[in-house]
């Protein structure tokens, strides 16, 4: 069983990663979350996730532009 609470952002459902929940509670002033968010392990988790997201976004852009190139070539 998996428990994954979601939020709605501009009409889109989004499931935050665990570190995002902790970060949100830390911003809200929760002591336990501030303590966790202050660790190097937590900061590394954020950096790693942001890097993975950046790479995924780049791959998606490459796929999109490759398909656009193919589509445009077909119009020649």
H/E run at residue 2:
none
Each residue's pLDDT tens digit, 36-71: 999 999 999 999 999 999 999 999 999 999 999 999
Calculate the CA dihedral of residues 40, 42, 46, 49 and round it to 10 degrees: 110
Q: pLDDT confidence of 4, banded at 50, 70, 90?
A: confident
Q: Which two tokens stand for residue 15?
A: 């499931």
Pairwise pLDDT comparison (18 vs 71), residue with the higher score:
71
Q: How far apart are CA 18 and CA 20, in angstroms?
A: 5
Per the prediction, the chain carries an average pLDDT of 93
Q: Give pTM, 2 decimals.
A: 0.70
């Amino acid at each position: 069983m998996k428990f994954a609470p979601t939020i709605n952002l501009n009409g889109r459902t989004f499931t935050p990663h665990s570190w995002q929940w902790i970060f949100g509670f830390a911003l809200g002033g929760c002591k336990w979350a501030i303590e966790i968010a202050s660790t190097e392990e937590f900061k590394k988790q954020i950096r790693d996730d942001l890097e993975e997201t950046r790479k995924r976004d780049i791959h998606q852009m490459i796929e999109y532009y490759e398909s656009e190139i193919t589509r445009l070539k077909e119009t020649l």
